[in-house]
Amino acid sequence: MVRSKMDFFNESLKGGLPKKDALHYIYPPSRTSYRQKGENNRVPVNHVFERRFQQLFWARTPEECLDFLVDYFWGGRIEILENYLDKRRSKTTITKNYG
């Protein structure tokens, strides 16, 4: 039986978040100044999530990623982002479907 990439992805989520085995640039090196390319610009992530992120967002900055989500997927409804930020800042529990 041939296993699909989705099988691997779903199995990696069993029991919580998958292992963080890759480094992700918060601001892509091709888009940043020398000062922003330090260690504070990299965070550990799962390699499958990293690949998916790159496929969707390419070399966009965090601000460009959010703009893309608001405009393309949320129909310009910026209040979705504002509501999330309010909840996050108040440490309200946010339902997660990835672990």
Does the pLDDT value for residue 76 go beyond 90? Answer: yes
Q: Taking residues 80-88, what's their average pLDDT?
A: 94
Does the pLDDT value for residue 9 go beyond 60? Answer: no
Taking CA atoms, 1 is separated from 6, 14, 29, 63, 69, in Å, by 14, 21, 40, 42, 36
Does the pLDDT value for residue 56 go beyond 80? Answer: yes
Taking CA atoms, 65 is separated from 38, 57, 59, 71, 94, in Å, by 21, 6, 9, 10, 20
* pTM, two decimal places: 0.72
pLDDT of residue 4: 61
